[in-house]
């Protein structure tokens, strides 16, 4: 176990997407694969203890067999534990990717899929990680609803959620709302969020959470990911980092 946990956080990769075709790629899907590979490479340079993938690994449940199997091999090749939740684009629909392919068989991957939420232990790190499996991207789905209190015997407690941020005092009829009050009341040392493609730090005196942005979309000014260091004395440092060469002028 360690006194400081280093976390790398990525989301909204959208493998097999076609929204941001670049002229240098014959197929748009090549862009998404290259950027996922590149962001994992960048994340590894920080020597993380764990990587978090906070939803939308795939752009849809119609991703190709080649891309799905490639992604599974790439995740398995990472030198540290990885934890993941599905997102709204690759949610747990009947016949979807995660029913057809057993991501839980990837040795280093903790894949959280229970609709009511589930916790898993990564014992060698003293880490408990919690998240929900999204089945229906609707206003009735609460990505943080019912998250349990901090386990007594964990060293570090990590949460993941995929949905839209709702600031204080603003109503929302959007699907999968994550209210700021829920973030503030959450028991996690770090809360890794996905869905917003522009990075957003949500840090208070008691809470450290972030949307890390997307490694395949520069809507926030660059393709981004997050690196977090958590000390046992509850000091948490959060950085949003750009993949080199993706910064917009």
Q: Is 202 left (phi over 0), alpha (psi -120 to 50) or beta?
A: beta
d(CA 222, CA 169): 30
Instruction: Report which of 30, 15, 110 is spatially closest to residue 60, judged by C-alpha positions.
Output: 15
Q: Using the predicted structure, report yes or no on whether residue 93 has a pLDDT greater than 90.
A: yes
Percent of the chain having pLDDT more than 70? Answer: 96
Q: Is the pLDDT of residue 21 over 60?
A: no
CATH superfamily of 4-242: Metallo-dependent phosphatases (3.60.21.10)
d(CA 99, CA 37): 24
Specify which residues 52 forms β-bridges with: 9, 83
The structure tokens listed for 68 are 């799905």
At a CB cut-off of 8 Å and minimum separation 6, what does 93 contact? Answer: 61, 135
Alpha carbon distance 148, 136 (integer Å) = 21
Reported as a pLDDT band with limits 50, 70 and 90, residue 103 is very high
What is the spatial distance between Cα 3 and Cα 241, in angstroms, rounded to a whole number? 24
pLDDT digit string, tens, across residues 153-198: 899 999 999 999 999 877 778 899 999 999 999 999 999 999 999 9
- Please tell me the predicted confidence (pLDDT) of residue 26: 60
Q: What are 197-248's pLDDT values in tens digits?
A: 999 999 988 889 999 999 999 999 999 999 999 998 777 899 999 999 998 8
**In the prediction, which pLDDT does 70 show?**
98
pLDDT of residue 23: 63
Q: Where are the alpha helices (DSSP H) in 60-214?
A: 65-76, 97-100, 180-185
248, with CB counted inside 10 A (0-12, 13-18, 19+), is exposed
Q: Is the pLDDT of residue 102 over 90?
A: yes
CB-CB contact of 225 with 43 (8 Å): yes
Give the pLDDT band (50/70/90) at residue 59.
Answer: very high
Q: Please state, in angstroms and as integers, the Cα–Cα distance from residue 47 to each residue in 43, 50, 65, 100, 244, following that order.
A: 7, 9, 31, 32, 17
Q: How far apart are CA 123 and CA 126, in angstroms?
A: 5
At residue 172, the pLDDT reads 77
Helix (H, G, I), strand (E, B) or coil at 42: helix
């Amino acid at each position: 176990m360690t006194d400081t946990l280093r976390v790398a956080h990525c989301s909204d990769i959208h493998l097999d997407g076609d929204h941001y075709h670049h002229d240098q790629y014959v197929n748009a899907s090549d862009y998404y694969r290259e950027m996922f590979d590149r962001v994992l490479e960048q994340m590894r340079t920080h020597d993380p203890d764990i990587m978090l993938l906070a939803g939308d690994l795939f752009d849809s449940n119609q991703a190709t067999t080649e891309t799905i199997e490639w992604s599974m091999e790439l995740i398995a090749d990472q030198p540290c534990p990885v934890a993941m939740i599905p997102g709204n684009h690759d949610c747990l629909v009947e016949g979807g990717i995660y029913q057809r392919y057993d991501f839980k068989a990837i040795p280093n991957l903790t894949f959280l899929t229970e609709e009511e939420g589930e916790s898993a232990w990564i014992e060698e790190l003293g880490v408990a990680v919690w998240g929900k499996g999204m089945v229906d991207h609707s206003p009735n789905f609460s990505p943080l609803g019912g998250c349990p209190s901090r386990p007594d015997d964990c060293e570090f407690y990590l949460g993941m959620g995929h949905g839209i941020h709702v600031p204080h005092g603003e109503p929302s009829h959007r699907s999968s709302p994550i209210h700021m009050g829920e973030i503030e009341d959450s028991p996690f040392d770090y809360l890794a969020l996905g869905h917003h493609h522009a990075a957003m730090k949500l840090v208070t005196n008691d809470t450290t959470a972030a949307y890390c942005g997307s490694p395949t979309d520069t809507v926030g000014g660059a393709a981004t990911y997050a690196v977090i260091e958590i000390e046992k004395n509850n000091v948490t440092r959060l950085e949003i980092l750009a993949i080199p060469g993706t910064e917009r002028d």
